[in-house]
Amino acid sequence: MITQETSTLVSILDPLRGAFYDTREPPDCLSDLNLDQLIETVTGPKQDYTLKPYFWSPLENTEAIRYRQEVMKDLERPSLLSRIKEFAEKMSVVHRYLRMVEKLDYPYHRKGWILEGILLYTEAVETLCGALQHEPIRSEGFLSFRGWLEKYFTSEEFQYLSAEARRLKESLASLRYCVLIDGGKVKVKRYEGEADYSVEVENTFEKFRQGQVESYLIKYPERTGMNHVEGKILELVAKLYPTPFAELDAFVSSREQFLDPTLLAFEREIQFYISYLDLILELKQKGYPFCYPALSATDKDTFVREGFDLTLAATLLKEGKVVVRNDFSLSGAERVLVVTGPNQGGKTTFARMVGQLHYLASLGLPVPGREARLFLVDRIFTHFERREEVATHRGKLEDDLLRIHAMLLQASPRSLFILNEIFTSTTLQDAVFLSKKIITQLLEKDALCVWVTFLDELASLSEKTVSMVAQVDPADPTIRTFQVVRKPADGLSYALSLAHKYRLTYEQIRERLP
């Protein structure tokens, strides 16, 4: 059987924690950041692998993140990616065989399909081992797995599994027998040189062959089950040739759990990378940039060039539309991005983008953008508008305050807040007062924050706040460009431009009065 050394788990995701992520629950921020939609998109076609827990589990140190980044860089080579996908397809068929076996009624029929599964499994392992030996892989993850795989492939147990499966297949395939049908009776006997009538029939009708012509035959799906007559014939054949069937019985019975746990872990874990890579490769073909961000757990200087909302980009891709890309940065003592500007100008999308970038970076994945340097946050807190909950008997303002209070209690200097249009249900004076109190607490914690607001006053609250403004077309202020740029907030200027467009300025109104 497989030795303890061979069974040692090697994880392509994280050497520190292995492959056990199944107890995780989705972080609260995913819904507000629309990352729940993105995760559903990438994992949907791969339901068998149960990938969502991997996407729910941000990493906590930069070494583990770099480990994944290097694995992903290796996988971006088309030759390696195609070989890994080939391996995955073969393993998928193996699993299908094993699921099918549970539904079969006849013992030797079941064992025959298990033998087929073993044969395909050993072929998949051999092919993958050969592929990795010839690929110029550089990542620690792939190098560790390749080292383990070579030991496993050359192990005495695996070599026996492969050779014995092939020998049994050849032995069973060599069996020849005759089926004698007399009315309702069926007999089976050893083949003793009788004529093969199937060959004679083919030879007889060969002269009627008309070459390559269109076929109108209907192809029916191949059946894997047996009816009771076929099952009885198989039993009789086994009695005619007891030795090969006894060997099959002994071999399969002793190796029902032939799938190695480390290989199963690799098969599942590698789909985490492939599922995401399939999405971004499609976007790259449309000109969207992706990069591997530089990450720090101590330095909060941050910048992103040409970042974008990945979920929105994936959605617009289906509609043949493109998403606008934006830049932002924080340096020195700066901690809070205050985003103002006209409604429907891209402010919320910008805030989501910042949250997505930090979350995807913490998974060790390429992020949407030309270039990025990010701080490794320990948690992302989000506050987006919700409907009032009648059952709680709380008003919207009370609910906003309670939610923010709970977040502040849990936050650390490594946390990121994404706050979107809070305190819209109260007066302007109260909204300004409450907002300043919260920003003060965030700055005291030294947390990072993106605050989307209609309150221009917050943008210049201190040297730690940075003003970002959603832009409009200078020639027509009703047209949003969805560009969000670093500049002082000036909601009054936007209001005046609108008033001028619709001839509602004081001077324009006076001109129309008699």
Q: Which domain holds residue 335?
A: 286-512
**Amino acid 394: pLDDT:** 67
Domain shared by 317 and 177, yes or no: no
Q: Does residue 435 lie in a domain region?
A: yes
Q: Considering the domain boundaries, does residue 192 fall inside one?
A: no
Whether residue 300 is found in the same domain as residue 165:
no
Q: Are the beta carbons of 231 and 186 closer than 8 angstroms? A: no
Q: Examine residue 203 and state whether it is found in any structural domain, yes or no.
A: no
Q: In a structure prediction context, what are the per-residue pLDDT tens digits for the chain, which is 514 residues long?
A: 333 344 457 899 987 755 456 667 899 999 999 999 999 999 999 999 999 999 999 999 999 999 999 999 999 999 999 999 999 999 999 999 999 998 888 888 899 999 999 999 999 999 999 999 999 999 999 999 999 999 999 999 999 999 999 999 999 999 998 888 888 788 888 888 877 777 778 888 877 766 665 665 555 455 556 888 888 888 889 898 999 999 999 999 999 899 999 999 999 999 999 999 999 999 999 999 999 999 999 999 999 999 999 999 999 998 999 999 999 999 999 999 999 998 889 999 999 999 999 999 999 999 999 999 999 999 999 999 765 454 555 678 888 899 999 999 999 999 999 999 898 888 889 989 999 999 999 999 999 999 999 899 899 899 999 999 999 888 887 888 999 999 998 765 455 555 655 666 667 777 777 7
What is the dihedral sign for C-alpha 261, 263, 269, 275? negative
CB atoms within 10 A of CB 50: 13
Q: Are residues 242 and 383 in the same domain?
A: no
303 and 270 within one domain: no
389 and 475 assigned to the same domain: yes
pLDDT of residue 511: 74
- pLDDT of 495 reads 59
Q: What is the model's pLDDT at position 17?
A: 56
**What CA–CA distance (Å, rounded) separates 343 from 496?**
15
Structural domains in the chain (count): 2
CATH code, 330? 3.40.50.300
Residue 495 lies in a domain: yes
Same domain, 407 and 479: yes
H-type helices in 155-307, by residue range?
A: 156-173, 197-205, 228-240, 242-254, 261-285
Q: For residues 263 and 304, state if they share a domain.
A: no
Residue where one domain finishes, among candidates 207, 239, 274 = 274
pLDDT attached to residue 51: 95
Does 206 map to a domain?
no
Please state the pTM of the whole predicted model: 0.87
Do the domain assignments include residue 478? yes
The reply to whether 265 and 334 lie within a common domain is no
In this structure, the answer to whether residues 128 and 244 fall within a common structural domain is yes
Residues 298 and 261 in one domain: no
Q: Does 28 reside within a domain?
A: no
Predicted confidence at residue 491, as pLDDT, reads 65
- Strand-pair category, 448-452 with 415-420: parallel
**Do 420 and 355 meet the contact criterion of CB atoms below 8 Å apart?**
no
DSSP-based three-state secondary structure for 37: helix
* Position 480 in a domain: yes
Tell me: do 237 and 345 sit in the same domain.
no
Boundary (domain end) residue, out of 209, 239, 274: 274
- Cα 345 from Cα 483, distance rounded (Å): 8
What lies within 8 Å, CB to CB, of 165 at 6+ separation is 115, 118, 119, 122, 251
pLDDT of residue 2: 34
Alpha helix (H) residue ranges in 102-194: 107-134, 140-154, 156-173
Nearest C-alpha neighbor of 206 from the set 194, 198, 217, 218: 198
Residues 332 and 252 in one domain: no
Which of 274, 298, 333 terminates a domain? The answer is 274
Cα–Cα distance, 144 to 13 (Å, whole number): 11
Question: What SS3 state is found at 321?
Answer: coil
